[in-house]
């Protein structure tokens, strides 16, 4: 009886690579690892919108039901005609294709090397996609590209280009980078009204974290005349938390600004916290808990070099995240509206291309997706919108060495 042999280049093997590639990229990604939830009711900082996987489409509109502002009708006063209409706030997400690739050389390299070049290419592609996803989340949540030199995206990423047929508003898939609105941006210097008020000495401190928590908790009560929604916490084992992400430089200055006792208390909070073994506490970069805020450091935090009165102060944008701060949606890899469960789980496609009569081989990867921070408005326009699940804290970020 003839034996069926499936080689490493077989279509079925490539599908397995697709699934492994997404798993690998997800596990190594800071945001897609333990900060993501799936579905409309997922109360995690990053929410996966699954509608693109169920039906075809290049964009998805989603809404937030605004809180009622109605004055109560008391005693025998008439209610009819005074009922408050439901107020839906709108946002929109676009998706498009993004690709990457690795040249694995020729058949000669395959023969010379002691390891499988295809396997190594899978590792490289997974690491690359993880960095790409994290960089996109940092830029969209911050509303800026910044000066980060190690980013895979050009310095003018996010700049509007009306002549671009795909993304005239800038960014990826025509999802524009949206600067924080005034209600969701704070400065290290409490007297500062813009970036010129942040000086080199205005590094992060515990007092600033307390201010962030205070503003988040009073967000609706302090701005009743505008449609500013409450920044929601998310729960871990029954305890409510926010997340604050800073650079390793700011993590250093935060530790220096505290006494030994303060910093020990921050570390002790993890040991005594319920749910301390939850995956979110296992993320690389976790440094402690303070005032129910989970503290992380990450080198991808967006940095600037034009703050202060001098216009030369190095600064960064720390991210204070609640639930549903950003959304991401993936399209079907095969263009179908009813992709199978395994294909939907892959989300990153793997292709191989042979050239020069099969002598040279290159690997390609692609994903159809879009992501952005949540920003709701009555008109659906970012111009009159308010951020929903994220506040930004701009602090001085000088090198500690």
Tens-digit pLDDT profile for residues 182-209: 999 999 998 899 999 999 999 999 999 9
- pLDDT surpassing 70 at residue 227: no
Give tens-digit pLDDT for 152-182: 999 999 999 899 888 898 899 999 999 999 9
The alpha carbon of residue 376 and the mean position of all alpha carbons in its chain are separated, in whole angstroms, by 17
Cα(283)–Cα(35) distance, rounded to whole angstroms?
Answer: 9
Contacts of 336 (CB under 8 A, 6+ apart): none
**And the tokens for 206?**
């515990």
Nearest partner of 390 among 140, 202, 122, judged by Cα: 140
Tens digits of residue pLDDT in 232-258: 998 877 789 999 999 999 999 998 877
Question: What residues contact 281, with CB distance under 8 A and at least 6 apart?
Answer: 236, 270, 273, 275, 294
Predicted structure pTM score: 0.87
Please report, for residues 38, 162, 215, 372, 382, the alpha-carbon distance to residue 175 in angstroms, rounded to integers and kept in the order given: 20, 14, 28, 7, 10
Contact (Cβ atoms closer than 8 angstroms) between residue 325 and residue 372: no
Q: Are 176 and 361 in contact (CB under 8 A)?
A: no
pLDDT at 6 over 50: no
- Give the span between the Cα atoms of 133 and 198, in whole angstroms: 30
Question: What is the distance between the alpha carbons of residues 344 and 51, in angstroms, rounded to a whole number?
Answer: 12
Q: For the chain, how big is the Rg over CA atoms in Å? A: 24
pLDDT recorded at residue 121: 84
Nearest to 64 by CA among 378, 390, 392: 378
Domain edges within the chain = 11-67+86-396
Nearest-5° angle of CA 184, CA 185, CA 189?
A: 145
The mean per-residue pLDDT over the stretch 341-348 comes to 56
Selection from 389, 249, 257 nearest residue 316 by Cα: 249
Closest among 290, 297, 238 to 268, alpha carbons compared: 290
pLDDT tens across 12-24, in order?
Answer: 566 677 777 777 7
The predicted structure's pLDDT at residue 278: 67
H-assigned helices in 218-320: 219-222, 248-256, 260-272
- Please state, in angstroms and rounded to a whole number, the distance separating the CA atoms of residues 227 and 69: 10
Which pLDDT belongs to residue 271?
Answer: 58
For residue 108, the 8-state DSSP code is H
C-beta of residue 122 within 8 angstroms of C-beta of residue 85: no
């Amino acid at each position: 009886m003839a034996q069926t042999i499936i080689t490493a280049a077989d279509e079925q093997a490539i599908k397995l690579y697709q699934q492994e590639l997404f798993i690998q990229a997800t596990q190594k990604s800071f945001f897609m690892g333990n900060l993501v939830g799936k579905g409309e009711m997922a109360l995690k900082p990053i929410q996966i919108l699954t509608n693109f996987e169920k039906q075809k489409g290049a964009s998805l509109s989603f809404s937030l039901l605004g809180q009622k502002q109605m004055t109560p009708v008391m005693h025998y006063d008439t209610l009819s005609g005074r009922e408050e209409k439901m107020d839906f706030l709108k946002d929109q997400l676009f998706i498009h294709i993004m690709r990457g690739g690795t040249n694995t050389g020729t058949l000669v390299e395959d023969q010379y090397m002691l390891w499988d070049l295809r396997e190594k290419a899978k590792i490289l592609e997974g690491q690359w996609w993880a960095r790409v996803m994290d960089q996109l989340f940092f830029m969209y949540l911050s509303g800026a590209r910044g000066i980060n030199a190690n980013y895979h995206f050009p310095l003018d990423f996010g700049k509007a280009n009306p002549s671009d047929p795909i993304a005239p508003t800038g960014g990826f898939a025509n999802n524009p980078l949206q600067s924080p609105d005034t209600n969701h941006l704070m400065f290290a210097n409490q007297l500062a009204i813009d970036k010129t008020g942040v000086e080199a000495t205005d590094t992060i401190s515990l007092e600033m974290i307390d201010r962030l928590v205070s503003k988040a908790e009073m967000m609706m009560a302090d701005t009743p005349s505008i449609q500013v929604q409450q920044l929601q916490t998310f729960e871990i084992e029954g305890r409510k938390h926010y997340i604050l992400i800073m650079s390793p430089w700011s993590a250093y200055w935060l530790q220096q600004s505290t006494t030994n006792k303060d910093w020990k208390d921050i570390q002790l909070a993890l040991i005594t916290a319920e749910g301390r073994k939850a995956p979110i506490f296992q993320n690389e970069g976790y440094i402690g808990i303070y005032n129910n805020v989970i503290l992380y450091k990450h080198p991808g935090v967006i940095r600037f070099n034009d703050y202060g009165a001098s216009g030369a102060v190095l600064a960064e944008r720390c991210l204070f995240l609640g639930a549903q701060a950003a959304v991401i949606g993936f399209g079907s890899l095969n263009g179908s509206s009813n992709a199978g469960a395994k294909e939907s789980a892959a989300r990153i496609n793997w292709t191989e291309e042979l050239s020069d009569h099969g002598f040279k081989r290159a690997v390609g990867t692609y994903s159809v997706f879009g992501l952005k921070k949540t920003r709701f408005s009555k008109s659906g326009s970012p111009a009159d919108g308010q951020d929903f699940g994220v506040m930004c804290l701009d602090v001085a970020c000088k090198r500690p060495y």
